[in-house]
Amino acid sequence: MPASKRIIITVPENLLAEMDNVTAIESKNRSEIVREAIRFYLRERKRTLIVEQMKKGYIEMAEINLHLACEHFGVEDEALVNCIEKLLE
């Protein structure tokens, strides 16, 4: 395990009591619970940021795709009409 640093945090008594219940149930100490909580928070934060970036990207691509579809809508109709005319000749 990499070098560790000691930190001091302040938590409300009810949160500390709840954490102590978890430490007793899971046979872990407070430091282990806090480390797990920090890892979980950082992992979820990273996941949330990725999801938000993906949403933004999908919205941007949707706007681009809509623009392209509108831009080429008439061209597709024209090609279809030309094709039908050639078939009818």
Domain ranges of the chain: 13-88
Give pLDDT, residue 39.
98
Residue 12 tokens, joined:
């409300």
22 vs 30: CA distance, rounded Å = 9
pLDDT band of residue 22 (cuts 50, 70, 90) is: very high
Residue pLDDT, tens place only, 32-71? 999 999 999 999 999 999 999 999 999 999 999 888 888 7
Using pLDDT thresholds of 50, 70 and 90, give the confidence band for residue 9.
very high
50 sits in which H/E element: helix 30-88
- Residue 1's pLDDT is 63
DSSP output for 58-87: HHHHHHHHHHHHHHHHHHHHHHHHHHHHHH
Residue 27 is given by DSSP the state T
